[in-house]
Structure 1
Amino acid sequence: MADNRMQFSIDSNMQFPLVEIALERGESVYIQRGSMVYHHPDVSLSTALNGRGSGLGKLVGAIGRSLTSGESMFITQAVSSSDEGKLALAPSMPGQIIALELGAQQYYLNDGAFLALDGSAQYRMERQSVGRALFGGQGGFFVMHTEGNGTLLANSFGSIKKLSLYNQSMTIDNAHVVAWSDTLDYDIHLENGMWQSFGTGEGIVNTFRGTGDIYVQSLNLETFAERISHYIHTSSNG
């Protein structure tokens, strides 16, 4: 009988690994849109509104999250019709995949870090303060917050390092943050004021305080995009 707890394996022999998920009959998993690499015929994919509730309320909620956080209005769900369902996923960026067990610990996720969540767990988009939303880039006015028991697969741009705080504080470049324990307080701000931040190249940072874990990625997508933009030539008509 399906228990909706994710059974998966990550191929460590691959430079940029993919994850293969095994599903029993009736088991389901929510996955990042566009992340599917392959699946067996007995696994079916469907798209649903990315919202809670039903009817018009669910539609309005999905539209609201899409407008305010940049999150898709839709989410993909994979369901197996046999005990031998297989599904493989890969992140949209070259990097690492980690598994976070949900239950006693819950997490916040940064933009682009979500890969998959088994059907026994959930997440909600939690409203942030106006200051954090305008300043940060942690999902705009909303940030993803996990709930329940299960397994969350998160992906990074580059390698992932786990940092553990014990009644301590640490400041981290916001673009390097992947996920963090919801037991931590966090504050998004400029490193040294506007002019100093622009001068040093260290812009928006996130200061965490308390006890919990933070997962950081070794590469910065914003910096990488700036680098390659110099080599991308566009042509204009007229």
Structure 2
Amino acid sequence: MKYEIQNRPAYSVLEVTIDPSESIVAESGAMVWMSDSVQLSTSARGGVFKSLRRSVLGGESFFQNVFEAQDTPGLVGLAPGQPGDIVAVDLRDGDILMEDSAYLASEQGVDIDSDFSGLRGLFNEGLFILRASGSGLLFFTGYGDIEEVQVDGSYTVDNGYAVAWEPSLDYDITRGRSIRSFLFSDQLLLRFRGRGRLWVQSRNPQALANWVHPYRNVTRESKDDD
């Protein structure tokens, strides 16, 4: 299987070339285009229970799409829902932990399951993250640009910006040191420790939602006086 990540980093599209009998698995709704030689099927990979756990706990789709080339090589274009980069990782180097909703696609030998995120989940999007294991290529995505950081010791990231990391890294939650953070507890930081790779996105979806919130066009209904 060959791949190319186009239009990086803001509006990345993953174009995959698969030979006959080769296939790629993708998150539901990720397909942008495919050639006529590609057959699409949908299934609950890993069985109903595992798919339900991945969907409810990990924030991913219950069903996933499988694209398989038939008699001739085929092309498949995949893209995330939000504007941002796409990263390819070969799992021969070990498992990868991801934020829920970061998964985009993978080869058939890759297994995606939910994993308990610990105390961090109480202050972040959820109590569970995703674990990618097995063999093959994994493609994950984030909001904005994604930078790979080689952690050797400790590294601190603002909450909501960590996209993926290797299990060799431990992390805990700290608070900002400013007076405002102390009074209002609005700055939660993730401190990673150990040695391993960490992927950080340049934008935070929650920060965007907070910025947009005051500009919402809210219509209030008035009650007529009797």
Asked if 1:11 is matched to 2:9, the reply is no
Residue 169 (structure 1) aligns with = 154
Where 1:196 maps in the other structure, the secondary structure is helix
Aligned amino acid, residue 213 of structure 2: S
| In 1: Cα distance, 2:183 partner to 2:114 partner | 31
The equivalent of 2:204 in structure 1 is 220
Q: Secondary structure at the match of 2:93?
A: coil
Contact 1:136 1:189 in 2 (8 A): no
**Within 1, Cα distance between the matches of 2:19 and 2:133?**
23
- Quote the residue 1:211 is aligned against: 195
Given candidates 140, 144, 168, the residue that maps to 1:154 is: 140
Structure 2 spans left out of the alignment, 5+ residues: none
Q: Within 5 Å, give how 1:77-226 maps onto structure 2.
A: 77-129=66-118, 131-137=119-125, 140-166=126-152, 168-191=153-176, 196=181, 199=184, 201-202=186-187, 204-226=188-210
Given that 1:36 and 1:87 are in contact with CA atoms closer than 8 Å, whether structure 2 keeps it comes out as yes
Q: Distance in 1 between matches of 2:54 and 2:29?
A: 19
- Distance of aligned partners of 1:25 and 1:31 in 2 relative to their CA distance in 1, 3 Å threshold: same
Q: Which runs of 5+ in 1 are unaligned?
A: 1-5, 53-57
Normalised by the length of structure 1, the TM-score is 0.82
Q: Which moved more, 1:12-21 or 1:176-185?
A: 12-21
Matched length: 222
- Structure showing greater radius of gyration is 2
| C-alpha RMSD of the superposition | 2.6
Letter in 1 for 2:134: G
- Deviation of the 1:102 alpha carbon: 1.2
Pair 11,65 (structure 1): closer, same or farther in 2 beyond 3 Å = closer
Amino acid in the other structure paired with 1:9? E
Q: CA deviation at 1:170?
A: 1.4
Percent of pairs with identical residues: 29
Residue 224 of structure 1 aligns to a residue whose secondary structure is helix
- Displacement after TM superposition at 1:184 (Å): 0.8
What is the aligned partner in structure 2 of residue 74 from structure 1?
A: 63
Q: Do the aligned partners of 1:26 and 1:81 also contact (CA within 8 Å) in 2? A: yes
Identify if the C-alpha distance between structure 1 residues 13 and 113 changes in structure 2 by more than 3 Å, giving closer, same or farther.
Answer: closer
